[in-house]
């Protein structure tokens, strides 16, 4: 089974999952943003992105569709890793697996910055 590895603060954590969601609040607009990712053997694939509003640096692309709550689109981006930067004033990233969400600071050391997500070898 594929697994997601989270690395930060000198620790590496393996999460047995084929998919996860990253959740955060935009620092300026204070608007919810979510991304659904799929874990593949050599890449993370961004399956869907969604935001609850628009504004400073968070305009949805032309192919985004509004469902009454979220602007949704399917980027189809494939990357070897995702690097998250953390700042107290921005609030923490949340990692959701099978509907259960936890702040990154509860998974890795609270001061871990940056945090890297990638498929486990």
- Considering the entire predicted model, what is its pTM? 0.90
**CA distances (Å), origin 44, targets 9, 38, 69, 89, 121:** 21, 6, 26, 27, 13
| Per-residue pLDDT tens digits for 74-113 | 998 999 999 999 877 778 999 999 999 999 999 999 889 9
pLDDT tens figures, 15-26: 999 999 999 887
State residue 72's pLDDT score. 96
Instruction: Using DSSP, state whether 105 is helix, strand or coil.
Output: helix
């Amino acid at each position: 089974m594929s697994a997601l590895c989270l690395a930060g603060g000198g620790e590496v954590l393996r999460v047995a999952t084929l998919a996860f969601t990253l959740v955060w609040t935009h620092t300026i607009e204070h608007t919810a943003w979510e991304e659904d990712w799929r874990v593949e053997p050599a890449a993370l694939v961004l399956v869907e992105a969604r935001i609850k509003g628009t504004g400073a640096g968070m305009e949805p692309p032309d192919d985004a569709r509004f469902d009454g709550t979220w602007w949704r689109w399917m980027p189809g981006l494939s990357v070897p890793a995702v690097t998250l930067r953390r700042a107290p004033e921005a609030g923490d990233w949340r990692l959701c697996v099978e509907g259960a969400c936890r702040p990154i600071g509860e998974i890795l050391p609270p001061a871990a910055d940056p945090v890297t997500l990638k498929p486990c070898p």
